[in-house]
Amino acid sequence: MNREVNGTEKTQKYAGIRMFFKEGLEQLQELEKSPHPDKEKCDAIKVALWEGMKGFAYTVSEQMNVSLEDPYEREEVLQDLANIFFEKLYGYNWRKATPTTYFVRYFRERLVNHVRCEKYNGISLYYIGNIRKIEKAEEMFREQGIQYTDSMISAQTGLSEKAISNARKILEKANVTRLEDLSDLLDNGRLDQESQMIEKESQELIRKALENNLSQEERDMILLRFFVEDGENMSYKKIAQQKNISIRKAKEIIESTLEKLANDKSLIDLG
């Protein structure tokens, strides 16, 4: 009985988050239709949506054993996750998934870079990337005989001065002065493998959910609606024409199918 109650509460929670994002994005779209959008209001809505996801971002970080104890690293991790959140925000479709299910993939891909690597003296891949940029810029200035400042390094690398300072502190804490003092060089191919693995796992969960919960007709309708046209949802009209049914019937089937998927435990856990 308790499991059923917990499952219901979890479903209601995710439904609430979905509606929160739906309303926020609708407000954004309405504001941005104006010839002179109110940037402060738009930014405030985006920040509010991010605040609604920050706790989930923390949870995903903990699941991936990303350290958030160090204030420098915590700040960098959250900033990186916020950046990808804002970058991918407009691609979210509340009809297709909960925000957590949509963003978890992007969060995981970014967090791979923040996992602490013992063979690199505990420095995360994210900081290794930043330190490399800094060292490359410093070397360029030295070769040109230019006495550089952090603001010049910032302009050259695209990193903020704070990020530059944090990267140096992390390097100092690892008891090395330059990346070349570490025993091994980073194998960037591992990041691609991690991302591909995450993507494959997510696709497999979705495939199983479709098979376990839906009839063949329902699967066909969902595939037509969300997975056929590149980046766009197929219209109910086109689906109705292909399936030789009314537009109303097509919409009813898809909406009831989405409700089934919304209650699938594997997809809720994914999000």
Residue count of the chain, please give it: 271
pLDDT > 80? residue 136: yes
Domains of the chain: 15-69+78-114 (no CATH), 117-181 (no CATH), 190-271 (1.10.10.10)
**pLDDT number for residue 266:** 55
pLDDT band at 230 (very low <50, low <70, confident <90, very high): low
**pLDDT number for residue 220:** 83
pLDDT band at 130 (very low <50, low <70, confident <90, very high): confident
**pLDDT digits over 34-48, tens only?**
888 888 999 999 999
Interval 154-163 mean pLDDT: 85
**pLDDT digits over 164-189, tens only?**
888 888 777 766 555 555 544 344 44
Please check whether residue 255 is in contact with residue 236, taking contact to mean a CB–CB distance below 8 angstroms: no
Which residue would you say has higher pLDDT here, 43 or 267?
43
Please check whether residue 97 is in contact with residue 264, taking contact to mean a CB–CB distance below 8 angstroms: no
Exposure b/e, 228-246, CB count within 10 A at least 16 = b: eeeeebbebebbbeeeeee
Alpha-carbon gap, residue 211 to 218, rounded angstroms: 10
Q: Which element (helix H / strand E) includes 211?
A: helix 189-213
